[in-house]
Structure 1
Amino acid sequence: MEHDTGFHHALLRLSGNQTLLELTQKLLDKSHRIRLLTLNARPIPEASTQEHTATYQALAKGDFPTAIEIHSSHRKRSSSELIELLNKITGLIETKDREASQPYGKRYLTT
């Protein structure tokens, strides 16, 4: 899990944009806490490892459009996976599919 956070932090450092790094650090911290919460409820993140490797390889070749495409797809897939796990664990994450059934229109997070 430390490697996952480190990978994303390294990508941000490569941008050379200190403001971006500082702003996204809070999101990385939150993401790390969520992964800790779901650690025992999910399989080994093999897909993430493959996506990180593919992103790195594209960057090493200077193929930035491919790196961006792979990483964007990775973020969408992994975010959806974590939201699904959190919903199973806590029942606090609401998705658009479940909004209509929520009493009094109460929603915690809409995806």
Structure 2
Amino acid sequence: MNTLDTDAYMQPEAAGEGASRTEAAYQELRQRILSLDLAPGALTLETELAAMLGMSRTPLREAVIRLAQEGLVIPVPRRGIQVAPITERDVREINQVLACLEIEAVMIVAARPVRDEEIAALDSAIAAMDAALESDDIDGWGKADFRFHSLIFELCPNRHLNQTARLYLDKAHRARLLTLPYRRRPVYSNSNHAAVVEAIRRGDPETARDIHAAHKRRWSSELDQIIELYPSMFEPGSSLD
């Protein structure tokens, strides 16, 4: 059986076509990890991943280097790679960090002049959330909700806040998808986001901050309940037995 040779991960990928294949492998693997198509904690042989992507192992190895640097995979010597698990502690801490950043970002966005097209983008994300909720499309709701939160950071002019948020947004999305099946119907999230956008539209940073802070407190409480009731969601996705 062919297994992953971790020493090979140190060999650089050639430029040109090889680099393009590496980028394609990286993007495909990253998307599969972030969408939970490759489950948290799952162990997979390198040969299985190469077959899945329809690629040779060389671009795959380069892609894994990047994903490991981002904390999304863990190379397992002589066995394969492990998708980084999501632990209870991860979910709590990521939620705490992004809550602090996003409450501040909402206030900063509302304190500056906001263009019509920026408000329209936020409204569009909320409309997609509403439509998904009406059709019981929880996955679609999750994607639209992620878009809303991403937009808040994109519209915030504080570069350092944005750089910090980008370190956690993808990890937060994985955690959000993990907990999504266990959530109550998120009607409150939709109405909260709409109220935040209205405060941004009026240029009322204090109200925007207060509304969003209340939403984050409510979600933190619900998250605690989900973690207590469904600890099995943190179990690894599979093994290499």
CA–CA separation in structure 2 for the residues paired with 1:25 and 1:75: 19
Determine if the alignment matches structure 1 residue 33 to structure 2 residue 174: yes
Counterpart in the other structure of 2:32: none
Determine if the alignment matches structure 1 residue 74 to structure 2 residue 230: no
Counterpart in the other structure of 1:55: 196
Are 1:55 and 1:67, in contact at CA under 8 Å, matched by a contact in 2?
Answer: yes
CA–CA separation in structure 2 for the residues paired with 1:83 and 1:34: 13
Counterpart in the other structure of 1:2: 143
How high is the TM-score relative to the length of structure 2?
0.35
Are 1:58 and 1:64, in contact at CA under 8 Å, matched by a contact in 2?
Answer: yes
Aligned residues: percent identity? 37
Higher strand share: 2
CA–CA separation in structure 2 for the residues paired with 1:43 and 1:75: 15
Greater RCO structure (CA 8 Å; 6+ sep): 2
Kindly state the Cα deviation for residue 66 of structure 1 after the two structures are TM-superposed.
0.4
Are 1:35 and 1:82, in contact at CA under 8 Å, matched by a contact in 2?
Answer: no
Counterpart in the other structure of 1:42: 183
Kindly state the Cα deviation for residue 34 of structure 1 after the two structures are TM-superposed.
1.9
State the AA in 2 paired with 1:25: R
How high is the TM-score relative to the length of structure 1?
0.72
Runs of 4+ in 1 over 4 A off after TM superposition: none
Are 1:5 and 1:32, in contact at CA under 8 Å, matched by a contact in 2?
Answer: yes
CA–CA separation in structure 1 for the residues paired with 2:146 and 2:203: 23
What secondary structure sits across from 1:44 in the alignment? coil
CA–CA separation in structure 2 for the residues paired with 1:52 and 1:10: 12
Higher helix share: 1
Q: How many residues align?
A: 93
Where do 5+ consecutive residues of structure 2 fail to align? 1-141, 234-241
Determine if the alignment matches structure 1 residue 16 to structure 2 residue 161: no
Counterpart in the other structure of 2:225: 84
State the AA in 2 paired with 1:22: Q
- Cα deviation digits, residues 48-84 of structure 1 (max 9, x gap): 1110000001100111110011011111211221232
The CA RMSD over aligned residues, in Å, is 2.1
Which protein is bigger by CA-based radius of gyration? 2
Where do 5+ consecutive residues of structure 1 fail to align? 93-111
